[in-house]
């Protein structure tokens, strides 16, 4: 059996519809919303700001803290219990590791930059949407960054490599592999890679190439959203 037609009739390399907007939370120093299909991620950046307790401070450079949270009503089934759990803690960590290679906080010893990612509704690909939103929010906050970060989940369903699995595809009865990937747009380097499921090595490499290609498109959307926030008012005049 091969997966010849996607459940929602997308092309194999096609993502769900994407919307991105920067500057969605007025209180924050930087913020963004990234929507892919029915998954919505909000990110807010606060800082650089004072960091307490003191023992967490790094006298050489500022630290980055990432928090990932699903709103209680954002899950597919039962209510998600509020507060951190093992899953959200791990996702926060891999998100931080994906963002750290581009962020330069050497000007801010002892300080912290906080990134808060919240998901009001989800349908697979939440960590990737969170990373896309967080990268835009960090740029919006004026953080020194050598690049943005773009992210998408790719996968392999019954031997076919596809981009941006939705929930139904993740739950598809067949051999499914899900691979969240994040890429630095300038170099194509991979900063997030996880996989669960079953697939061949050849397909894995194919999937990574696909992720790189899709991330290049996502990067353009992120870039456009950032520029829109700072130019939209100029066009009115």
Chain residues 149-178 in contact with another protein, contact rule CB under 8 A = none
Single residue of 8, 82, 174, 189 touching another protein by CB under 8 A = 82
In angstroms, the CA 194 to CA 174 distance is: 20
Length of the chain: 237
Two structure tokens written together for 230 = 């700072």
Two structure tokens written together for 120 = 């009001």
Query: Would you tell me how many other CB atoms lie within 10 Å of the CB of residue 70?
Result: 22
Q: How far apart are the first and last CA of the chain?
A: 58
Query: Quick check: 101 binds another protein (CB under 8 A)?
Result: no
Query: Quick check: 130 binds another protein (CB under 8 A)?
Result: no
In the complex, minimum distance from the CB of residue 119 to another protein, in angstroms, rounded to a whole number: 9
Single residue of 1, 11, 27, 53 touching another protein by CB under 8 A = 27
Two structure tokens written together for 156 = 């392999």
Region binding another protein by CB under 8 A among candidate stretches 8-16, 154-162, 181-189, 193-201: 181-189
Query: Quick check: 77 binds another protein (CB under 8 A)?
Result: yes
DSSP 3-state of 95: helix
Query: Quick check: 21 binds another protein (CB under 8 A)?
Result: no
Single residue of 18, 25, 36, 154 touching another protein by CB under 8 A = 25
């Amino acid at each position: 059996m091969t997966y010849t037609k996607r459940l929602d009739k997308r092309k194999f390399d096609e993502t769900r519809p994407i919307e991105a907007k920067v500057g969605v939370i007025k209180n924050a120093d930087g913020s963004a919303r990234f929507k892919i299909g029915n998954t919505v991620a909000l990110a807010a950046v606060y800082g650089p700001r004072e960091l307490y307790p003191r023992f967490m401070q790094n006298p050489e450079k500022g630290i980055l803290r990432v928090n990932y949270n699903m709103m209680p009503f954002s899950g597919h089934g039962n209510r998600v219990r509020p507060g951190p759990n093992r899953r959200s803690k791990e996702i926060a960590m891999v998100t931080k590791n994906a963002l750290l290679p581009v962020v330069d906080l050497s000007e801010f010893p002892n300080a912290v930059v906080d990134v808060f990612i919240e998901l009001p509704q989800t349908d697979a690909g939440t960590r990737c949407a969170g990373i896309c939103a967080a990268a835009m929010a960090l740029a919006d906050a004026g953080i020194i960054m050598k690049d943005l970060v773009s992210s998408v989940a790719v996968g392999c369903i019954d031997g076919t490599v596809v981009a941006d699995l939705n929930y139904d595809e993740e739950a598809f009865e067949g051999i499914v592999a899900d691979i969240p990937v994040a890429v630095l747009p300038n170099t194509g380097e991979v900063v997030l890679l996880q996989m669960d499921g079953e697939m061949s090595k050849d397909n894995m490499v194919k999937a990574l190439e696909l992720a790189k290609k899709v991330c290049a498109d996502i990067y353009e959307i992120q870039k456009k959203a950032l520029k829109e926030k700072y130019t939209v008012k100029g066009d009115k005049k």
